[in-house]
Structure 1
Amino acid sequence: MIINRRHFIGAAAASAALLSSPAVLGKTRPRVVVVGGGAGGATAARYIAKDSKGAIDVILVEPTRHYYSCFFSNLAIGGFQPLSKLGHSYGKLASDYGINVVHDWVTAVDRDAKTVRLAGGSVLSYDRLVLSPGIDFVEGAVPGWDVTAQTKMPHAYKGGTQTALLKAQVEAMPEGGTYVTVAPPNPYRCPPGPYERVSMVAHILKQRNPTAKILILDPKEKFSKQGLFMEGWEDYYPGMIDWLTSDFTGGVQRVDPNTMEVVLEDEIIKADVCNVIPAMRAGRIVQQADLTNEDGWCPIVPATLQSRFDENIHVLGDSTVNGDMPKSAYAANSQAKAASMAIRAALIGSRTFKPRFSNTCWSLISPDNGVKVGATYVATDEKIAKVDGFISQNHEDAGLRKRTYEESLGWYTGMARDMFG
């Protein structure tokens, strides 16, 4: 369905409009198609439409009608935020900014013809294309697991139903049961995410099931905010959480979703809940458009987020390999603003300035115990390069940790407004 500022139009009329280029319709406005309505895509669509003041025709393609953020979903698992608060509508992007919001899947990109094909059969032409599809999982990364197993061993690394499912599984764990996280290798979305999630699970279990055990099976030798998390786990959840690296366990050999077993080199763990977070790669449509390197990520021009393989396509957020910026919602939002500026300059000649990027990742360890890490960045010829950074310190006072948590709540409110208006 397409929503525009003035009215809803019928499916037949929609197809006719989408199949036609602006020139065929007698319009001279350049067209930008944005694929993906998350932190990168929604922000880019809004800023292109808002700052071009109607001079650019913007179409946002997103299959879901209601967006549930993956960022802050751990707080929903821990009971600190209702899942409903993480849901957002695309209505204001249509009504207030004149963006055509198309709820459909993109099945193909024809880079030569500069068109995208939708699952419903329509074809959209573009002058510039923005791809911000997030992540997909590497097939076979965890032997025995694929997306058909996600109802038994949820990944919960895409927002919405997976978040609710994992929360329900944790709350239904038997007394003294075992929760297992299979952590991903680098690089992946939200580096502190698996460990904040463990903290939130521990918070639930401390109240409801204090003899339960949490095991983190990690292929990495270190992780983001490690000292802060480990200090918090020792202080608030002593004896509950074990972090086990592959050097210690021999690594996860396979999982069995039917028996809920995790097979290590010399041991089989019987899990009551198993959160499998596989290795990641760029979203499927970036792969399909042949915009990725041998590692499965999209190289970009740092200042403009243009694909290194196609100057008419900009790739944002988690799907990129960009240099020093992590894969986070804050990063995607920051990159979207730089890309939208470059797109407006290319299509309507608007002014540009040297972009600067920023990122902050907050994590909640226990009630009112928030920590953060972040940095600012500039675009060089080779990469988005870190300029300076900060991180919370061990043994901070409770008042500072509470203010850090409250700061994160304010950021979420502002972020949602920046994405959706």
Structure 2
Amino acid sequence: MKLNRRHFMAASAGVAATTLAAPHVYAASHGGKPKVVVIGGGAGGATAARYIAKDADGAIDVTLVEPTRTYYTCFFSNLYIGGFRTIESLAHSYGTLASEYGINVIHDYAVGVDRDAKTVTLAGGDTLPYDRLILSPGIDFVDGSVPGWDVTKQNAMPHAYKAGSQTELLKAQIEAMPEGGLFAMVAPPNPYRCPPGPYERVSMVAHLLRDINPTAKILIIDPKEKFSKQGLFEEGWNNNYPGMVERIGPDFGGNNVSVNADEMTVDIDGSVEKVDVCNVIPAMKAGIICEAAGINDGNWAPVSPHTMQSRADENIYVLGDASAQGDMPKSGFSANSQAKVAAMSVRAALTDSKMFPAKYSNTCWSLIDTDNGVKVGASYEATDEKIASVESFISQPGEDAALRKQTYEESIGWYEGISADIFG
């Protein structure tokens, strides 16, 4: 069955849609109706805000804090680089969440959390009280993880891992490469946000270069011994972009790399390469507000698999990329799935509605070339220890063109469906 918008929304509603607000509403700790503050307006945060507001039917005040007025999805941003999407097709606004669901959307940065007072401080100086707080801030980068690079160098060596202007910049740099030039990617260590997956990005860069600069080369410097869908990508690169892509793994120095943005060089275990474009994707950590809230354990925020509640504070939930939850990848699909479980838990706590057992799912699609899509995914269940994979699937090497085209078309339907499910 082709996965279109209607099918996705029907299938993905899951247990959250079966939860109805009950008559009893708990008294808010700050007076009036119970208050939920959601920080981060991406696939996790916006979904949670929408489902809480929709299913609580006015019984809960929901505030969404997101600094950007236009949100560009990381998922499908590689397809913009490859020429399959426009940047406008990745852009979404928050108007429907405000006008149709009554969500108070505040465009500001959250800079502090007082867990004792149950308040959030914004950069503009306002303080927001909450009864439940949902953190879905995405990623930040680990300082010093790629020597020679920090965010002050991101214009010279873009990461393009927060979609929008960085994505546009990286594509413009690729298009401006000299004939026969060298594109280098410093790939991230595990765990990392995906999408935009590094290896789909390589495929899309190769697709673009094959059309405009066919003698150009791509160099992947990778600290990992292996990566997701590796056989599928390597088969695709050999079949569609022969001789263009080279990968240096840890056996050949891929785990000992530094960069010089002023000189546009990459040092790989003592061997210096002059490059024309360098896509540096550093090691990642939970968005900094999780650290400010004091709920991190290392770089990530551990959660209860049953509810997505922080293991450090039951009044705080952590979704998507920022959470340490077990087997689920750090994907938009995962964040959307987790948001519905968290929304159900919040409504159960604040309106005495029924809580059903948590169920999660994920699929990650990647495009290798025109109409050549592959995917990997799984369904999950909550154990006391972690969110555990219970059944998985993956595309296979050598699949025929019709199946690969069907997989790509399925991903288009998914994008339409999940965008509507997130932003209304």
Which interval holds the TM-score relative to the shorter structure? over 0.9
Secondary structure at 1:343 match in 2? helix
Partner of 1:315: 318
Deviation at 1:202, TM superposition (A): 0.2
- Name the CA distance, whole Å, in 2 between partners of 1:47 and 1:266: 52
Deviation at 1:112, TM superposition (A): 0.5
- Name the CA distance, whole Å, in 2 between partners of 1:104 and 1:71: 23
> Which residue identity lines up with residue 280 of structure 2 in the other structure?
V
Please list the CA deviations of residues 264-323 of structure 1 after superposition, one character each: whole Å capped at 9, or x if unmatched: 2231011100000000000000011111112x1010000100000000000000001111
Partner of 2:131: 127
- Name the CA distance, whole Å, in 2 between partners of 1:144 and 1:291: 29
Partner of 2:154: 150
Distance change in 2, residues 1:23/1:317 (3 Å): closer
Between 1 and 2, higher relative CO (CA 8 Å, sep ≥ 6) is seen in: 2
Partner of 1:278: 282
- Name the CA distance, whole Å, in 2 between partners of 1:380 and 1:398: 39
Partner of 1:371: 374
What is the 5 A alignment of 1:9-48?
Answer: 28-48=32-52
- Name the CA distance, whole Å, in 2 between partners of 1:311 and 1:104: 25
- Name the CA distance, whole Å, in 2 between partners of 1:59 and 1:154: 32
Q: Please state if 1:335 is matched with 2:335.
A: no
- Name the CA distance, whole Å, in 2 between partners of 1:322 and 1:174: 44
Secondary structure at 1:243 match in 2? strand
Distance change in 2, residues 1:192/1:149 (3 Å): closer
Contact 1:196 1:365 in 2 (8 A): yes
1:236 pairs with 237, 240, 250, which one? 240
Deviation at 1:380, TM superposition (A): 0.6
- Name the CA distance, whole Å, in 2 between partners of 1:265 and 1:215: 15
- Spell out structure 1 runs of 4+ moving beyond 4 A: 21-24
Contact 1:217 1:252 in 2 (8 A): no
Contact 1:252 1:262 in 2 (8 A): no
| Alignment root-mean-square deviation, CA | 1.2
Contact 1:192 1:363 in 2 (8 A): no
Partner of 2:220: 216
- Name the CA distance, whole Å, in 1 between partners of 2:334 and 2:116: 30
Q: Please state if 1:305 is matched with 2:336.
A: no
Distance change in 2, residues 1:191/1:96 (3 Å): closer
Secondary structure at 1:107 match in 2? strand
Aligned length: 398
Partner of 1:404: 407
Deviation at 1:249, TM superposition (A): 2.5
Deviation at 1:29, TM superposition (A): 1.0
* Superposition TM-score, scaled by structure 2 size: 0.92
Please list the CA deviations of residues 298-357 of structure 1 after superposition, one character each: whole Å capped at 9, or x if unmatched: 100001000000000000000011111010000000000000000000000011111110
Secondary structure at 1:306 match in 2? coil
> Which residue identity lines up with residue 331 of structure 1 in the other structure?
S
Secondary structure at 2:315 match in 1? strand
Please list the CA deviations of residues 216-268 of structure 1 after superposition, one character each: whole Å capped at 9, or x if unmatched: 00000000000000000000000000011021136343100011000122310
2:164 pairs with 160, 172, 178, which one? 160
Partner of 1:254: 258
Contact 2:76 2:196 in 1 (8 A): no
- Name the CA distance, whole Å, in 1 between partners of 2:318 and 2:28: 23
> Which residue identity lines up with residue 147 of structure 2 in the other structure?
P
Deviation at 1:28, TM superposition (A): 2.6
Deviation at 1:192, TM superposition (A): 7.3
Contact 2:40 2:65 in 1 (8 A): yes
Partner of 2:394: 391
Gap runs ≥5 in structure 1: 1-20
Please list the CA deviations of residues 14-72 of structure 1 after superposition, one character each: whole Å capped at 9, or x if unmatched: xxxxxxx9787xx6310000000000000000000000001000000000001001111
1:413 pairs with 400, 411, 416, which one? 416
User: Percent of counterpart pairs with the same letter?
Assistant: 67
- Name the CA distance, whole Å, in 1 between partners of 2:252 and 2:391: 34
Q: Please state if 1:90 is matched with 2:94.
A: yes
Partner of 1:287: 291
Contact 1:293 1:299 in 2 (8 A): yes
Deviation at 1:191, TM superposition (A): 6.7
Partner of 1:349: 352
- Name the CA distance, whole Å, in 1 between partners of 2:395 and 2:242: 21
Contact 2:97 2:103 in 1 (8 A): yes
Secondary structure at 2:314 match in 1? strand
- Name the CA distance, whole Å, in 1 between partners of 2:103 and 2:240: 47
> Which residue identity lines up with residue 297 of structure 1 in the other structure?
W
2:74 pairs with 70, 76, 79, which one? 70
Contact 2:75 2:196 in 1 (8 A): no
Secondary structure at 1:341 match in 2? helix
Gap runs ≥5 in structure 2: 1-26
Partner of 1:7: none
* Superposition TM-score, scaled by structure 1 size: 0.93
Contact 1:108 1:118 in 2 (8 A): yes
